[in-house]
Amino acid sequence: MSEDNKVPTLPVPKPRTRTNRKLLSFLIIFFLTVLIILFFQSSLSRISRIEVEGNVLLGSDVIGQASQVAIGDRFFAVSSATIGQRISTVPMIKKATVKKVFPGLIHIQVEEFPKVAFQIDPDGKKQAVLADGSVITLPAGSGVPLDMPILTGWADNDPNKAALCKVLGEIPQSALSDVSEIKPDPSESYPDKIKIYTRSQFEVHTTIAYLPDKIDNLPGYVASLVEDHITNGIITMLEAEYHSPFATTSEGKTDSKTDTKTTPKPTPKP
């Protein structure tokens, strides 16, 4: 057979693997994009439930408003840390922990500043005073017992009141069980001097700075006085601790403003 009569060789087709891979990658990206769009348009991407726990004095609606999130908002639009920071700015809230649970649940756990005292507003309504100095009016007919000291004579903007509330929050309630009322009694030597009235009928003179150290001694001191058949009078707990009887006026009434047994020294800074 001559060379002119040879059958021409057919070209071998090139593999299409690379083209198929590109097409497959495109299709995967396309379908993923569609799925993501559908997800963010569905109810699964929205907040469906908000739980608040740990609140006693603050309403859940107040905390919910502070969080700045609501049912129907996008679940992934804001972080748990950001929600917690928003809630922590609310007075009375000591700490807020937020946990997001997919799908759609926002769980808010709050810790309020402890209640340390009560006060009565000019309208006669009971108010709870917290360790940060904030005040909340108790609902009428709530039946909350006044089982903590009552603050009287304090201005709302008095820095000593805020300092007192902080100190009261650090003292065990058992140490304050005999305390019924606390009022300011500042002097030149003791700007943070206070008067404490006890259920055992004693009047205690001390300062906010001395209170954490002195209050533990009060129950034992009162008990020793009662053993000596002394059931009332003034207990001074400053540089030294001593008792003096109520002074009697010419009209036979008691006056507790004559307790000057020692020369006072400035209150040490806490």
Domains, the chain: 44-112 (3.10.20.310), 115-255 (3.40.50.10960)
Across the beta sheet with 105-112, what order do the strands follow? Answer: 49-53, 105-112, 93-101
* 270 residues of the chain, pLDDT tens digit each: 555 566 566 565 655 566 677 777 777 887 777 777 766 677 778 899 999 999 988 889 999 999 999 999 989 888 999 999 999 999 889 999 999 998 899 999 999 999 999 999 988 889 999 999 999 888 776 677 888 999 999 998 899 999 999 999 999 988 999 999 999 999 999 999 999 999 999 999 999 999 999 998 898 889 999 999 999 999 999 887 778 888 754 444 444 443 333 333 444 444
pLDDT at 239: 82
pLDDT at 58: 86
CA distance 92 to 39: 38
pLDDT at 259: 39
pLDDT at 3: 56
pLDDT at 240: 75
**Residue 69 burial (C-beta neighbours within 10 Å; 0-12, 13-18, 19+):** buried
How many other C-beta atoms are found inside a 10 Å radius of the C-beta of residue 45? 18
pLDDT at 188: 92
Share of the chain above pLDDT 70, in %: 81
Q: Is the dihedral of CA 58, 59, 62, 64 positive or negative?
A: positive
Single out the residue of 256, 257, 236, 231 nearest to residue 246, CA to CA: 256
Cis peptide before 103 (omega within 30 of 0): yes
pLDDT digits (tens, 9 = 90+) for 176-227: 999 999 999 999 999 999 999 999 999 999 999 999 999 988 988 899 999 9
pLDDT at 264: 39
CA distance 15 to 196: 96
pLDDT digits (tens, 9 = 90+) for 95-116: 999 999 988 999 999 999 999 9
Residue with tokens 């000593």: 160
- In DSSP terms, which residues pair with 155 in a beta bridge? none
Single out the residue of 164, 136, 260 nearest to residue 205, CA to CA: 260
